[in-house]
Amino acid sequence: MTLDRDSLRALADDGNEMALDRLAELADAREDLDELNELLDEGSARAGSLLTRRAAAAGDLLELQRLSDADCAEASAELTHLLSPPGA
């Protein structure tokens, strides 16, 4: 079954977190970083997780800091890991 983006958006607008997460997954599959960031702004933890994964893979410390500042715990943990001295 293919999910209709407009229906997912309507559900997410009504507070359905699963729909918000699914929108994040669809945006990630399309590599639509603008939409992922918008979904993060709407409170999607899944969008934060997907953006963190991308930033960590790219070694983008500034993006990880931005995500950490947006209360993304995964980004905070990844940033701490990357900034810690070896063997710490």
Q: Tell me, what's the pLDDT at 3?
A: 74
- Tens of pLDDT, residue by residue over 12-67, are 999 999 999 999 999 999 999 999 999 999 999 999 999 999 999 999 999 999 99
Domain residue spans in the chain?
5-83
Amino acid at 75: A
Burial of residue 34 (CB within 10 Å: 0-12, 13-18, 19+) is: exposed
User: To 10 degrees, the CA torsion angle through 8, 76, 67, 9?
Assistant: 10
Amino acid at 82: L
- Beta carbons within 8 Å of 64's beta carbon, 6+ residues apart: 52, 55, 56, 75, 78, 79, 82
